[in-house]
Amino acid sequence: MIADKLFEIEGNAIQAGYLDITPYRDDLKSKNIGKGAPTVLDFSVNGKKVVLVDDVLYTGRSVRAAIDAIMDQGRPKLLQLAVLVDRGHRELPISPDFCGQERSDLKKRDVEVHVTEYDGENRVVILENGGEF
C-alpha cells in the first residue's frame, strides 16, 4: 500500500516485499509463537536503500528481528525505519526515521492498526481497559 502511494506521488516504481521475522525473535523459547507469513523478497537488497515499515513501534524487539532478517538477505546501502505509531518506552536503542504519530502515553494501552486490504478500512484504534479509547 505504501509503495503504491509513493508510486502515485513520485511516479517511480518501488520494490516491496515481506519479511517473516519469526525465526529472528528473541522470545521464541518463552512463548508459543506460530509461523508468520512467508518472506517474499523478489529482489536483492544488496547496495539498495531499504526502508523497513512497521505498524507500531514499542520495545524495538520486532524491529531488531527485522534488521537481522534483512541482513540475512544481503547488505543494503542504507537501512531506515518507518512506523505508523511510535509508542515510546523502548527496550532497545532503536528509533524511527519516519513516523506517522508519536504517543508515549500508550504504555498500558493496546494499539490496533487496521488496513483496507485486511480490515476494510485504514485506521488506528487505541484500546483502554479492553475497550476503545
pTM: 0.84
* pLDDT score recorded for residue 33: 61
- The answer to whether 37 and 20 are in contact (CB under 8 A) is yes
Q: How far apart are CA 70 and CA 56, in angstroms?
A: 19
> What's 2-107's CATH class?
alpha beta
From CA 31, how far away is CA 1, in angstroms rounded?
Answer: 31
Task: State residue 27's pLDDT score.
Answer: 81
- What are the 10-residue block averages of pLDDT along the chain, 133 residues in total? 90 93 81 70 96 95 96 97 94 96 84 89 82 53
HSE-up (13 A, CA, CB side) for residue 98: 13
Domain ranges for the chain: 2-107
* Cell numbers linked to 31: 512463548
pLDDT for residue 126: 86
pLDDT at 74: 96
